[in-house]
Amino acid sequence: MTHKILVMPGDGIGPEIVTEATRLLNALRERFGLDAELEKAPIGGAGYDAAGEPLPEQTLKLAREADGLLLGAVGGPRYDELPWEKRPERGLLAIRAQLELFSNLRPAILYPQLASASALKPEIVGGLDIMILRELTGGAYFGKPRGIDTREDGVRQGYNTIIYSEPEIERIARSGFDIAMKRDRRLCSVDKANVLEVSQLWREVVERVAKDYPDVALSHMYVDNAAMQLVRAPKQFDVIVTENMFGDILSDAAAMLTGSIGMLPSASLDAHGKGLYEPIHGSAPDIAGQGLANPLATLLSVAMMLRYSLNEEAQAARVEAAVGRVLDDGLRTPDIWTQGCDKVDTQTMGQAVVAALSD
């Protein structure tokens, strides 16, 4: 069966890095028999430019029909003045919500070749391989009531609601345990149960789900402590499962442990394994269009898509091996460059990965 892949370049460095992903997918089709067809659609600021909406109807339609979705990045200063509902970020949040992509996998892996690019000492981050599982369609990002209004006494106020139902907590907890079963069988649930009722319910439900996974060692940690532990002793973690906003923050911190946010892919999955794949870095408008962007997070996102949504494990492994080879060869985009390596641009890096693909 032909896989339908929708690529959505988006804004900033998005088009450059997605160009490299498209090059990679085409090489897999032409040289390694990947049966896939590619379509392209605008999202974010590009969606607004093309159709007046950050998530154009046609893009959503194609997204619903696709088996795998690849996104570059959204957002940029050009769109900062737009009304709230037209902002690029709304396109990303809308596609997550519309497709019910509740399970967001954000691995933080330190490639041995890049150990010296991390801001932390090699003995603290060497061999790091953790997975942050972020709930993606609930919590403060989507909870109601929300808004900015004026109180009776004339004072303006802004508010959001962190809200989770038991089924929402249960399904992300199950994802967490399932992932832990495939790894080192350790799951740390991060919450703020000493302050928030929603976290108390979270903890209760996670404990309940744990009964179905006797082989997984479950622990709980408050989010402030988790932030500290991530930079103090990150290797203590295997899988972290947490709510939407905590996951947003902790995954950026975890990403930086690996030296560059430019290396990390992510997957956002629905209940059936369909997913949206994107590098976890943003649109980086400051470096857009200059060939400075690191395409590896996007190429590794393609690998995740092949593995988790398209069931093409061998192709996924092929891509990951090629990335490893290129790093072994000393090629580095500026974000991961260190003395003695070859500094290359976005396209050279993408082409090198394609050239390094093998049987």
Query: Which residue sits closest to ligand IPM, CB atoms considered?
Result: 89
243 lines the binding site for Mg ion (CB under 5 A) = no
135 lines the binding site for Mg ion (CB under 5 A) = no
Q: Is 82 annotated as a binding residue?
A: yes
Q: Is 23 annotated as a binding residue?
A: no
The answer to whether 83 and 232 are in contact (CB under 8 A) is no
Q: Is 107 annotated as a binding residue?
A: no
Residue 329 falls in the annotated catalytic set: no
Q: How far is the CB of 248 from ligand IPM (least distance, A)?
A: 5
Do the strands 147-150 and 156-159 form a parallel or antiparallel pair, or are they unpaired? antiparallel
Q: How far is the CB of 339 from ligand IPM (least distance, A)?
A: 31
Task: Outline where DSSP puts E strands in the chain.
Answer: 3-10, 36-40, 68-73, 103-109, 129-135, 147-150, 156-159, 186-191, 217-222, 239-242, 265-269, 275-279, 331-332, 342-343
Q: Which residue has the tokens 């160009």?
A: 19
Q: Is 87 annotated as a binding residue?
A: yes
Residue 248 falls in the annotated catalytic set: yes
Binding positions for Mg ion, 30-49, rule CB under 5 A = none
The site for ligand IPM (CB under 6 A) is made up of 89, 92-93, 248
Residue 212 falls in the annotated catalytic set: no
Residue 224 falls in the annotated catalytic set: yes
The active-site residue, picked from 129, 178, 184, 252, is: 252
Name 226's Cβ contacts closer than 8 Å, sequence gap at least 6.
188, 190, 240, 242, 246, 250
Indicate the residue among 169 and 267 with the shorter CB distance to ligand IPM.
267
Q: Which does 92 bind (CB under 5 to 8 A by kind): Mg ion, ligand IPM, none?
A: ligand IPM
DSSP string, 225-241: HHHHHHHH-GGG-SEEE
User: For residue 228, what are the CA distances in angstroms to 19, 130, 231, 266, 335?
Assistant: 37, 15, 6, 23, 25
Q: How far is the CB of 97 from ligand IPM (least distance, A)?
A: 12
Amino acid at 271: A
Q: Is 311 annotated as a binding residue?
A: no
Residue 252 falls in the annotated catalytic set: yes
CA quadruple 316, 319, 322, 326: dihedral positive or negative?
A: negative
Q: How far is the CB of 253 from ligand IPM (least distance, A)?
A: 12
Binding-site residue set for NAD(+):
76-89, 282-294
Active site residues: 141, 192, 224, 248, 252
Which stretches of the chain bind Mg ion, using CB under 5 A? 248
